[in-house]
């Protein structure tokens, strides 16, 4: 799992006016939720702000990161939990982080990476990835940058489901029935199959 460092400044005034001022200054309001729970039983939240440029480096990338967050000189290790975008401008409005520990498993969406040339593609079909990521559970040290999926034996019209996959050291959290990738019949393959049937 790649690592990236960002630094921020804590926020105490959380009102709408103050939040608007944060964005006006080119920063993004963020929250990091930790292991520690407050009196209400909910995870305690640390509110802070980070420059939009640093946040963009973290968000607009295909990679997943362990984020080393420094807030007023105090370091936290976290993963990206949720990002809120502006509905029109598409810029980042707010980011949630979740603090992690080396000994506690976390759930993270890891990008899939189909490997090999599928039998169905050789037969004229087209390989289609139906999801971009699969959710896995593990300690952050064991979470890979991508999940390699062997598709060489995947035939025309067939699919690989999440339940068909196994990765050492990882617990797959994505529902078993979710289709990960499939080989779709193309017009060329349909034409070839029809011609073969006609000549048979």
pTM of the predicted model as reported, rounded to 2 decimal places: 0.76
Q: Could you report the per-residue pLDDT of 28-39, keeping only the tens digit for each?
A: 999 998 776 667
Greatest distance between any 2 Cα atoms in the chain:
77
Q: Are strands 92-99 and 27-37 parallel, antiparallel or unpaired?
A: parallel
- Cβ atoms within 10 A of the Cβ of 7, count? 15
- Residue 85: is its pLDDT beyond 70? yes
- The pLDDT confidence band at residue 91, using thresholds 50, 70 and 90, is confident
Give the integer Cα–Cα distance in Å for 67 and 119. Answer: 40
Helix, coil or strand: residue 175 = coil
Highest mean pLDDT among 48-52, 90-94, 192-196: 48-52
Residue 89 confidence (pLDDT):
86
- Residue 17: is its pLDDT beyond 70? yes
Q: Could you report the per-residue pLDDT of 101-123, keeping only the tens digit for each?
A: 888 999 989 999 999 999 999 98
Q: Are 143 and 1 in contact (CB under 8 A)?
A: yes
Q: Are 6 and 69 in contact (CB under 8 A)?
A: yes
- Average pLDDT of the chain is 89
- Residue 175: is its pLDDT beyond 80? yes
Helix (H) or strand (E) holding 112: strand 106-115
Give the integer Cα–Cα distance in Å for 167 and 163. Answer: 11
Map out the domains of the chain with their CATH numbers: 2-100 (2.40.240.10), 107-199 (2.170.120.20)
Among 70, 5, 84, 76, CA closest to 36:
76
């Amino acid at each position: 799992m790649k690592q990236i460092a960002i630094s921020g400044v804590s926020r105490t005034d959380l009102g709408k006016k103050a939040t608007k001022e944060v964005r006006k200054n080119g920063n993004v309001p963020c929250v990091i939720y930790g292991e520690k729970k407050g009196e209400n039983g909910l995870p305690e939240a640390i509110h802070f702000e980070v420059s939009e440029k640093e946040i963009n480096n973290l968000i607009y990338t295909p990679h997943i990161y362990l984020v080393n967050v420094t807030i007023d000189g105090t370091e936290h290790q976290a993963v990206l939990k949720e990002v809120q975008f502006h509905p029109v401008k598409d810029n980042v409005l707010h980011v949630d982080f979740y603090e992690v520990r080396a000994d506690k498993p976390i759930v993270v969406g890891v990008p899939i990476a189909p490997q090999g040339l599928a039998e169905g593609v050789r037969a004229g079909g087209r390989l289609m990835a139906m999801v971009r990521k699969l959710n896995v559970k593990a300690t952050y040290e064991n979470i890979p940058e991508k999940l390699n999926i062997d598709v060489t034996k995947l035939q025309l019209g067939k699919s690989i489901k999440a339940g068909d996959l196994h990765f050492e050291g990882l617990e797959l959290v994505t529902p078993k029935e979710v289709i990960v990738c499939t080989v779709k019949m193309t017009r060329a393959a349909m034409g070839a199959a029809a011609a073969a049937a006609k000549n048979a």
